[in-house]
Structures are given as structure tokens and as C-alpha cells.
Amino acid sequence: MRRESANVLERNLPVVEMIRKIKGEHPYWGYRRIWAYLTYVRGLEINKKRVLRLMRRYDLLVKPNQRLKACRTRSEASHVRTVQPVVGIDMTKVMVTGFGWMYIVVVLDWYSKKMVGYYAGVQCTTRHWLEALDLGLTISSSTESETRDYT
């Protein structure tokens, strides 16, 4: 690491003192929040990189807590054995030549990407959506053990 000149050290000294004072009041603030405080509350024009460099040089950064680090290993206790079906429902309006408009409500199983329920008719109300959804959930739950493999 390069040594700073006396002129740069003298210029950085008041900024470092402000940072130390802020860190004394807020020990868990990182360099971004310190920079925002200096910029927006104190009105100091300063670059984020300069705040990071000074906090790094004077050991003022927040130390990461290694106990809070995410564990990426797979344990048997966390292994999923069964999953509730996840479905999506959508409606579209289609013009049938010689007949008129028809509504189609489709229920899709997002895991297998298969259509598990539907309704097609001239009207489309809440009752029709619920019929399609009931049909889809009934079919997906009865075939779940046959078609899905979660292990």
C-alpha cells in the first residue's frame, strides 16, 4: 500500500475524526450509511470511495459476523419430502367463428407445466373460476404421488 503524503493526511484528518465520531454513536453503520450521513446531514461533499478507503485504512468497517453466514450444506432435516401443489390460473377470451365469444379458464400445475383444470363457456364469473380451480386441485392432488418425485 502506498504511503500518503503529509498534505493528504492533513486533508483526511478532519474527515476521519467525523467518521470516528459517527461510528461512536452508530457502531453498526457501514461506509454507505456513513457516506449518506456526511453528505446529506452534514452537507460534506465527499466520494463514497474515499469514505470506504478511510474506513478501511483506520479499521472502522463493520466486522462480518461469521455465525450469521448462510449454511449451504444440505441436511436431512431440511430435505423436502412433500410439497403442496403450486398452481396458476389464467383466463382468456376467444372468438369462435360462427358462435361468438367464449371464455376459457385454465389451471396449470407449475411443477409439471401441465393443465390440471379448466372451464370453457359463454360466461365467466367467480363461480366458474372456482370450478376450474377445484377441478385442478382435485386432479393435481390425486395424481401428485404418481407424477411428482421430490427426492
Q: Are residue 93 and residue 52 in the same domain, yes or no?
A: no
Is pLDDT of 39 > 90? yes
Q: Confirm whether 74 is domain-assigned.
A: no
What pLDDT is recorded for position 111?
A: 80
Note the pTM of the prediction, 2 decimals: 0.45
What pLDDT is recorded for position 138?
A: 81
Strand order in 100-109's β-sheet? Answer: 87-96, 100-109, 114-121
What pLDDT is recorded for position 150?
A: 43
| Structural domain that includes position 136 | 87-147
Quick check: 18 and 11 in contact, CB under 8 A? Answer: no
Q: How many domains does the chain have?
A: 2
Beta carbons within 10 angstroms of residue 131's beta carbon: 17
Span 80-115, pLDDT tens digits: 555 667 888 999 999 999 999 999 999 988 888 888
Average pLDDT, integer, range 110-123: 88
